[in-house]
Copies of this chain bind each other. A is one copy, B any other.
Amino acid sequence: MFIYNAWYIAAEPAELNDGRIVGRVLLGKRIALYRGDSGQLVAFEDACPHRKAPLSLGTVVGDGVRCAYHGAEFGADGRCIKVPGQKAVPPKAVVNTYPVIERHGYIWVWLGDNQAGADESSIPDGFWVSGEPSWIGGYGHMESIKADYRIINDNLFDITHAEFVHPESFGGQEVQFYRNARPGSEFVDRGMSFEIGANSIRFRVHAAALGDEGGPLWRSMLAQSHGEEEWDEPIDFRMEVIWWPPCYTSFHISVRPMGKPEAEPVEIYNLHAAVPETTRSSHYFYRSVRNYGDASMNAAFIDAASFVFNQDKPILEGQQEVLGERDLLQTDPISFSGDRLPLEGRRILERLLAAERVER
């Protein structure tokens, strides 16, 4: 069920500070991640080839690692370079390594056999602002959620659930545009257009005049950015969402006062990534940045993100409990109009899975 030949977010960079080695299960594999003294990132299979002690218990030495158990040292390429007390180093003493890279404020690993594709170009791009110094936020959280990454994809990807699960924030009448989406690449007033690419799905929602019938968060953004308690005037609302397989969904929300196209938009970008841990659990990475306010607002945003996350979590974990070892699509589920794009996303995943099977 896992797609191996893909980049996966494995850690937040700060987790690797101060020479820490992170041990993490990704796609059912135990991985050790660290940053060498030169700054080089390394991802190892988290097991010493000697006696299988987890290398994540070890110590960074130069750009390599010294095993906590018998002190064997491995270079960043995984080759054993020192066995304490003996001159010969067994040539077979090699740890599996994985391509690893830092980009967009995350540590990414590639766990597949086909390392030909493991270049930066296949890391999804453009989905959130990381280099823009005037944008703030970037806080995030990483949680283990006991659900298959695919049902988390479905969640992120079908915004119609917001009306019922997130009525205080995202849930508004604009989800109706989602249900009536049409192919296209332009913003359409009171409508949604979508593009299904070979390796991504993108959609745009627009309302030139959105009032109380819209999601409360959109008006809150204008109120917050203008230092007001509430925002009662209609707004011009735009949302653009991109999903990349296997598990990346990015939202770009942009609002301005209605009828003022010249006004600076108030914007939020965020990323949701449900990286598979096991067949029934995922690591949930989240990050959000915005172009207004200052860092004193961050705590409130973190609280709000946590509130929303905890609205979804019991539903996602409940689905998984119902499903047990089955995938959702094996249960012959009924689909609604809001499932159109998530089902397209699952088709892309199926195609990628089938391609990996052929390669083998």
Question: Could you list which residues of chain A lie within 8 angstroms of chain B, going by C-beta atoms?
Answer: 30, 46-47, 49-54, 57, 66-72, 80, 83-86, 90, 92-93, 151, 154, 158, 160-161, 163-165, 175-176, 179, 314-315, 318-319, 321-323, 328, 331, 333-339
B83/A336 in contact, CB under 8 A:
yes
Residues of B within 8 A of A176 (CB): 85
Among B52, B83, B93, B151, point to the contact of A51 (Cβ < 8 A).
Answer: B151
Q: Counting chain B CB atoms within 10 Å of each CB, which of A30, A92, A319, A339 scores highest?
A: A319
Given the contacts A47-B322, A57-B315, A336-B72, A163 and B84 also touching, CB distance less than 8 Å: yes
Compute how far the CA of A26 lies from the CA of B333 in the bound complex, rounded to whole angstroms: 23
B51/A328 in contact, CB under 8 A:
yes
Residues of B within 8 A of A85 (CB): 160, 175-176, 179, 337-338
Given the contacts A52-B319, A52-B322, A68-B165, A160 and B333 also touching, CB distance less than 8 Å: no
Compute how far the CA of A158 lies from the CA of B52 in the bound complex, rounded to whole angstroms: 15
B165/A86 in contact, CB under 8 A:
no
Residues of B within 8 A of A69 (CB): 161, 164-165, 315
B338/A163 in contact, CB under 8 A:
no
Residues of B within 8 A of A47 (CB): 322
Compute how far the CA of A53 lies from the CA of B323 in the bound complex, rounded to whole angstroms: 9
Compute how far the CA of A334 lies from the CA of B336 in the bound complex, rounded to whole angstroms: 55
Compute how far the CA of A161 lies from the CA of B175 in the bound complex, rounded to whole angstroms: 61
Q: Counting chain B CB atoms within 10 Å of each CB, which of A70, A333, A338 scores highest?
A: A70
A to B CB contacts below 8 Å, 29 in the list: A30-B322, A49-B333, A49-B334, A50-B333, A50-B335, A51-B319, A51-B328, A51-B333, A52-B323, A53-B318, A53-B322, A54-B315, A54-B319, A54-B322, A66-B164, A68-B164, A68-B165, A69-B164, A69-B165, A70-B158, A70-B160, A70-B336, A71-B163, A71-B164, A83-B336, A83-B337, A85-B160, A85-B179, A93-B334
